[in-house]
Each structure stands twice: as C-alpha cells, then as structure tokens.
Amino acid sequence: MKSQVVERFCEHEGCQWGEAFSQTSHEIVSKKIPGVMPCESHMCEILNGHSPGNVPLRDHSIHKPYEYPGYREKPQICKGRGETFCSPQCLDKHERTHIGEKPYECMQCDKAFRYLSSLQNHKRIHTRNKHHECQQCGKTFRRHRNVQVHERSHTGEKPYVCKLCEKAFTVYSSLRTHERTHTGEKPYLCKECGKSFIVSKYLQIHMRSHTGEKPFVCKLCGKAFNESSYLQIHTRSHTGEKPFLCKLCGKAFSQSSYVQKHIRSHNGEQPFLCKLCGKAFTQSSYLQKHKRMHTGEKPYVCQQCGKAFTLSSYLKIHTRIHTGEKPYVCEQCGKAFTQSSYLQTHKRSHTGEKPYVCQQCGKAFTLSSYLLRHEVVHTGEKPYVCKECGKAFTRSSYLQKHKRTHTGEKPYVCKQCGKSFTLSSSLQRHEVVHTGEKPMCVSNVENLQLLQQHSEDSH
C-alpha cells in the first residue's frame, strides 16, 4: 500500500505535536490521532476531514492535546474567544488573527504574512514553479486545488451556501467571513482604540488612521491615500474615465456607488426616512443634512467671524465674503460671482431667458423667487404677519421694514450729517440735499408706478 507523509499539525518549532510522520493510507484512516485546535488561517488538512491524497478520515479523535497521554503542558487558552491550543507557540500564532500582525515578510516583494508557512507558499510565486494550468484561460497555479477554485470563475459555480440567507460563494473562506455578518462576530481588534472588524484587511486599513500612513500615492499630482481603491477612484479625476454606466439612460459615472444612487432618480426609491417628519431621501447624506433642520445643529464654523452653518458647502461660499474670491466669471461681460447659481441667473440678463412661468396668467420670470412673489397677486395670500399688530404682508422684506415702525430702528445713516432712516430709499432721497443730484433710480425711471415698484423690490 502506498505510503504517505502527513504534515505536522502545528508549524512552530518546539511544538511536540508538530512532528511529521509517515503512514499508509489505511493507518491514517484507522489510527486515532490526537486532536489539536487548528490555527485559524492555516487549517490542518487532517483536522478538516481530509488527509493528504484526499483520503477521508473515518475516525478522528476528539481528544484535546492536553488530554492525550504524555502531554504534560497545561492547555493554552485564547482570551478573546476561548479556544484551546497545544502550546504557547500555537496560541501566539492564533492571536495574530485578532491583532492583524504580519511578522513574516517576503524579501523580494515586501509582502507580509501572519505565518511562516504562508510566506513559504508565497515564495513559490517568485520561483515560478507552476505546473497546473487552467484549460479555459491558460493561467497556471502551484497546486491542483487552486486550479479547481479558479475554474469556478469560468463556470460560475458557487458551492458554499449560507444556511441563513442562502447567499453562495466560490471559496469557503468567503462564506466564513460572510457568516460573521449574521453572528456579529468581529475577531480582529484594534489595540489603539478597541474598534473591531470582521476581516483582518479592514483592521490593517483602519490602523493607518492611527499611524497616518498613506502608502498609495498618485503619480500625477502626488496626493496620497490609505487605500488602493481610493487611489484608483482618484486617478479617474485625471483621466476622465467613467466606467460605470446607467443601463436606463446611459449616463456614465466614475464610481459604482454613484450609479446606484442615480438609479433612484429613475425608480423613485427613497429608502432614507426622517423619523421626525416622515420626509424621505434618496441618499443617507441628504437625510443627515435634513436632520439638522430639526436639531438646529450647525457644525461648520467660520474661523474669521464665527458664523456657523449646517452644510460645509455653505461655509465654503461664505468664506468668499472674507477672501473676496469670485471664481465664477461671465464669459460675455466679465462680471464675477461667488456662486455658480448667481452666474447662471446673471446669464439670463444676456439671453433674455425667463424659465419660470406663472400658470395663472403666463407671465415669465428669470428667478423662481420672483415667480413665487408674483403668485401672491392671484392668491391674495399674505403669509408674513406682524406679531405686534397683526398686519400681514405678501413678502418677508415688507414685514421686516414694517417692524421698524414698532422698534424705531433706523439702520440707514447719512454719512454727511448723521441723520438716520428706516428705509434705504429714504436715505437716498435725503442725500440729494447734500449733493444736489437726483438719485440714480429716479433719473432712470420715468414712470412713477415703475419707480414705486422698483423701490419696493430694491429697497
């Protein structure tokens, strides 16, 4: 009968349960072998129910190693999850799965590994000792089992199915990781802040938030990132690449998540609901911004004047008041603006466009706010009410002016004589006394009714 060599259970030097031994296939099947808790990342083939050569084990001892005759050490217990191990070396090896430590580094490519055996397997990549070839695409592998796993990418086979949600996977390790989403298990713990993760990769990325490490650098602009995926997305800002297409309208996006959000504009889905008022949103970020209306939270504060805002974009626009920056310039007349919306509105003065039309009378306006003010003519609505006397107004600006009759406030002061006025138009009329000139608005408006309307709108 063919003799086979069984690899040692544990790869650490000095572990008495780690010796290799030679047996026939029959002996492997029939002889009881002391059970050892396998290290999580490198499961012993025998303990997984497969001997070398894929000979099934029909009789596998359930004894712990410290229960086996001749084993004198006390059991080594993992404080994180309670598993027992045959030696301190084995326990140390296992605990690396919790902290994400990778002490074994490849000298040729700097890739790091948790276990010496994993490093040794990796080194074969550099020796190019690959004998097993995929018949579909010609890709070669070191082991026949790796070819079998790879071939599933061609066949679409997913033999590992989650019992709770029936989601299927091509690799068993992917299923194990997925199952943690149901159990809530997060075995990889950050020693710095105590945050835990489902996958060791997430812990490694998280650790960079403590170290400040950003190993992925853009070759075009030098900007650095802590994840390779962020660099890949950023690179598209230089290349203009938009590989993700909406199947409904053909619009292209640089990120797949943008497509998912965009699709909601077609199907009307609004999954993010405000618990306070019931308003729904297509994106969670929109809901978070909306919630500040209820809480009054204004987390973005101007460093120059202390004014606070609900959105970072509002603060950015406000800062231009202090810096004088006006990045949006009209190509026709050169006039500059602090906001793009102001530029778009200004352009209508050149084109004559009036996109906001009254449904009652057909009158058109350049701004939506002008249309809203106009519609009051038809409805007679006066939503702005003075709390002092109950007088109602069609516009908030009219109410603000009216309030000054109660408070006596006169914010418009003549620089020549110090006399103050409740309205800016009153100040302008007064200034004629000093200059002897007609106010600009009077000289340009011949019709008295137009002048009155102009004064109401502008002053």
State pLDDT tens for residues 424-434. 888 888 988 88
Mean pLDDT to the nearest integer, 34-58: 37
Question: Closest Cα partner for 76 from 63, 65, 60, 61?
Answer: 65
Lowest-confidence pick of 81-95, 133-147, 291-305, 328-342: 81-95
Residue 161 has pLDDT above 90, yes or no: yes
Query: Residue 127: which pLDDT band, with cuts at 50, 70 and 90?
Result: low
- Taking each continuous run of H as one helix and of E as one strand, the counts in the chain are 16, 28
pLDDT of residue 74: 53
The percent of residues above 70 in pLDDT, for the chain, comes to 76
pLDDT of residue 44: 37
Mean pLDDT to the nearest integer, 263-281: 90
pLDDT of residue 307: 92
Query: Residue 65: which pLDDT band, with cuts at 50, 70 and 90?
Result: very low
Residue 49 has pLDDT above 80, yes or no: no
Buried/exposed 393-418: b ≥16 CB within 10 Å, e otherwise:
bbbeebbebbeeeeeeeeebeeeeee
Residue 404 has pLDDT above 80, yes or no: yes
Q: Please tell me the pTM assigned to this model.
A: 0.39
Mean pLDDT to the nearest integer, 72-98: 69
Distances (CA, A) of 385 to 54, 398, 401, 455: 86, 10, 12, 21
Residue 310 has pLDDT above 60, yes or no: yes
Query: Residue 93: which pLDDT band, with cuts at 50, 70 and 90?
Result: confident
Sign of CA dihedral 341, 345, 351, 355: positive
pLDDT of residue 83: 73
Residue 175 has pLDDT above 80, yes or no: yes
Bigger pLDDT: 6 vs 333: 333
Residue type, 174: S
Structure tokens at 106: 């490849």
Structure tokens at 383: 């939503």
Q: Are 203 and 100 in contact (CB under 8 A)?
A: yes
Q: What is the rounded CA–CA span in Å between residue 144 and residue 35? A: 27
Lowest-confidence pick of 23-32, 178-187, 234-243, 404-413: 23-32
Structure tokens at 128: 């190019």
The SS3 assignment for 116 reads helix
pLDDT of residue 302: 93
Buried/exposed 53-87: b ≥16 CB within 10 Å, e otherwise:
eebebeebeeebbbebeebeeebbebeeeebbbbb
